[in-house]
Chain A
Amino acid sequence: MNTKNNKDFRKLVEQLADFREGATEAKSFNKVTKLIIKEQNEKLIDEIDAKRNENWSVLANQVVGSENFGG
């Protein structure tokens, strides 16, 4: 960054107020957060964890490779 940009940058950062000053409630975002937590809490079985457990039960004793120059 050149000298002019350095000066500009310092000025900008010094002017950068605390995020909370002038911040408003993120209504749409908060709505999605609530939706995600509700969906997760309502799940009786976590499909992702269940898939991982199933994978392990199938794979645990399987040989990675067994052919000549496989293995």
Chain B
Amino acid sequence: MGVEKRSVVRGYPVTDANWNNDWTRLRGDCKYLTDWGTNLLKNGLKGSIKSILLEPHYVCKDHRNLFSNFYSKKFEESSPFTERLHFFSESIPDALEVVINPDKYRDSYVGYSVIRPVKDRCIGRTVIDPTKLASINQDNFYCLRTNFHAHIGGRHFTVKGYPYVSQDGDVTVCAHSALWSVCRYLSERYTIYAETYPFDLIRLMQPIRGRTFPYRGMTYEDYCIILSEFGCYPILMRLKESRHSACYDNKEYENLYSYIESGFPVLASYQGHVVTVIGHTIDYSKNVKPDADGFLSSLAFLKQFVVVDDNFFPYQLLGEKDDLDNYGARYPDPQYDIYSIVVAVCPLPEKVFLPADKAREVCLKYFKELKPELETIGRGSYVTRLFVTTNTAFKRRKLETNVFTDKSGKIDVLSYYVSEFNLPHFVWVMELSPIDLYKKGICTAEIVLDATSNIHESVVIYMRIGNTLVVDGLQRKYDGNPKQFRQYTHNLGEK
């Protein structure tokens, strides 16, 4: 039998009032959508969409890769084709309307989900824009997103989200799902990384523990080999001895937070299951305590991690045990919470030679020793925030937020001055603010380190305290220049 040459995209209006029946109707036409897949999408998208378009014949590059290398070898018949669902937050009379008037519906495009012909875990590549989800409280919610492209009847649509795929329970496991999402996010966002398909990850596993498929759990050695072959330079963090240990190694927890704050997707193992941490939420009302020197890390305001767990709809919140929004409590046993991460792996880029812990040690030493100077600009407990970023993003945001603002008022010439600096590809930045100003997104000091340096070298590129700049062991005060400046916001997609 030949391939069907024509298959029409069909539209399905969905309403909150008729939610379950609308999905039942869709399910009748979407032959690969299983109970598990229906429930995952139905619960995750409730209140966020008004129309679904079903593309009944879709060639998914990721499924085709698994089909060619695995499913085609099975006795039971399977299909190399998939179906795809497109979600819109607006009512669309029919699918033809999107082809006729695509511009009218671009803003309401919430994302898509590939439905694979596999048993149970049918959700293939899925990209949903979290800013368009009614289930997410957008206040103080920060997570990684990048543009993905989709075509409906030849019309181009874009969705900004983080890629998700469920494990199929046959050839891929949760580690493959998590690794695939990290690799796909990076390759879609940065041209330096090549696109990687699910079976590539299996091929890169070492057979020293026997066959690599079907269904073999990965080791950290596999992780490191795969991520290195992909083009990353992974770093391991061991947050606790085992999942039964009561508390975290605070330094490693700080490192994990700094890498997340820097905009890296981090693989987090609960020891038994693995997820990807792609962001966090913040609670400024938390009762926080500074250390004996009067300093505290921005980690103190962390409320939840934003995670992608292949067993659930994307963008779950991993919070404290008593947090009603903690998705980890939906696991039967063991349940997970924000302290369940045993090991984390961060896929660093090559030129971040200086790790977070060493950068933090140096920056804090300067700030603590120079506390009298800090106090001339503002008193109170000091909040520090450490992150790594590219020099281009850093300079661009300096200009956007501190120089070329639309607001009237004084121009921060020192932020402009920074844009003229010769910087390495990556820099570590520690910002400092008195606690009240921190909550308003304002800093009074910052220190910028060369991320390619060694701790035994002179690592500081410049330091700024108020309107005083320190470069190459010299300092100069710029009278009349503002002493405060805006926080750097970019790594987690902030505007």
Contacts and interface: CB of A to CB of B under 8 A. Distances in A.
Contacts of B408: 2, 5
B220 A59 contact: yes
A5 B409 CA distance: 9
Contacts of A16: 413, 416-417
Nearest to A11: B411
A2 B406 CA distance: 7
A54 to B, nearest CB: 8
A33 B363 CA distance: 11
B218 A59 contact: no
Contacts of A61: 209, 219-221
A64 interface: yes
Interface in A20-42: 20, 22-26, 28-33, 35-37, 40-41
A48 B358 contact: yes
A44 interface: no
B458 A40 contact: no
Contacts of A41: 456
A33 to B, nearest CB: 7
B274 A32 contact: no
B219 A56 contact: no
Contacts of A58: 238
B220 A64 contact: yes
A55 B237 CA distance: 8
B458 A33 contact: yes
Contacts of A66: 217, 272
Contacts of A25: 473-475
B460 interface: yes
Given A9-B411, A13-B416, A24-B474, A64 B218 contact: yes
B374 to A, nearest CB: 11
B175 A56 contact: no
Contact of A55 (B169, B238, B458): B238
Contacts of A20: 474
A71 B403 contact: no
B365 interface: yes
Nearest to A54: B238
B391 interface: no
B85 interface: no
A15 to B, nearest CB: 9
20 contacts: A1-B406, A9-B403, A12-B416, A19-B469, A26-B473, A29-B470, A32-B366, A32-B370, A35-B365, A36-B365, A48-B357, A55-B236, A60-B220, A61-B221, A62-B219, A65-B274, A66-B272, A69-B167, A70-B273, A71-B176
Interface of B: 167, 169, 173-176, 209, 215-223, 235-238, 269-274, 311, 343, 355, 357-358, 361-362, 365-366, 369-370, 373, 403-406, 408, 411, 413, 416-417, 455-456, 458, 460, 463, 469-471, 473-476
The 4 lowest CB-CB distance pairs between A and B, nearest first, are A71-B173, A26-B475, A23-B476, A23-B474
Given A23-B474, A70-B217, 9 more contacts: A9-B403, A12-B411, A13-B413, A22-B476, A52-B235, A52-B236, A66-B272, A71-B174, A71-B218
